[in-house]
Structure 1
């Protein structure tokens, strides 16, 4: 018994949806329209059952799944069960949605509930200054000096220009490029 035949017995809509989808792959636009409508009903029912606490988000997820199926329809192998392919896409979309939702919710957590965030740092100030000094020493003076004067000492652009002998635009460019270079070094772990 082939995989497709086995799947059609396990999932009654498999045979009908697969036939519609295969016809649509062969250019039948009407079959594709019916396929998307019927698949949307099945996906919606499955999501409502599996994610009962997220009812408001089900329609968005249904649209995400249908869009992913549309974009990836060329990847479907006709000798494989359609439902396995659809469920794989569905799993990825639900996982992506839940990760994004968790990130959004984390942004709304009140900081008052996190007293440890404001606890004293384990890093000694001298060590932090040493590390910052090492990073700044890797920059050319036209970037290092504007950062030191403006960002660490709190001087204005005009004061920094006088102290360094650079023009005001050069000071601004130096700070911008220097911070960008520092961020890149930190991301790459080159301190």
Structure 2
């Protein structure tokens, strides 16, 4: 089974593209969704974060106050690194567990990782698809979607990889600009799905036909 990483900057439309892959029958795992799940009370990651950052990051219900935690890590790179040191191994273990439960005949699975390159995770994937749009479009989409200010979104973009560098490091690209119609986006995903299924078949055939002890 091919492991396909799906990444892109904030507001580029990763969730929309992931949904199109899912509609074509590809299993989709979302690192952010798993992260949120693991950060709820009762999970080891939740306990580790509270132990490291203290009860000041909890809301009145005892859940993580994501706004408070976000303020901490954006204000201090060392704090961000400390959080990542807790989160990344936990999320990676959860992804591995979910992948292991998929049928062996699955051609490929898509794992959505927003900060894939920033986290140094590219070696964990057989193929990385980058969803791209222009920075101005990212700011406009996120301010409208999340109600954040332009300054807040720009601060997030500052800690994310340069879009051109992300595109250079990816194996393939899906454009999701303002000029991209719904049909064009679906066609791009369908073409990538076909290519990934063909690649999975080729690799599986090579493995099955490999001489013993080679």
The alignment's TM-score, normalised by the length of structure 1, stands at: 0.21
Q: Which has the larger radius of gyration?
A: 1
Tell me which of the two structures has the higher relative contact order, counting C-alpha pairs closer than 8 angstroms and 6 or more residues apart: 2
More helix as a share of residues: 1
The alignment's TM-score, normalised by the length of structure 2, stands at: 0.20
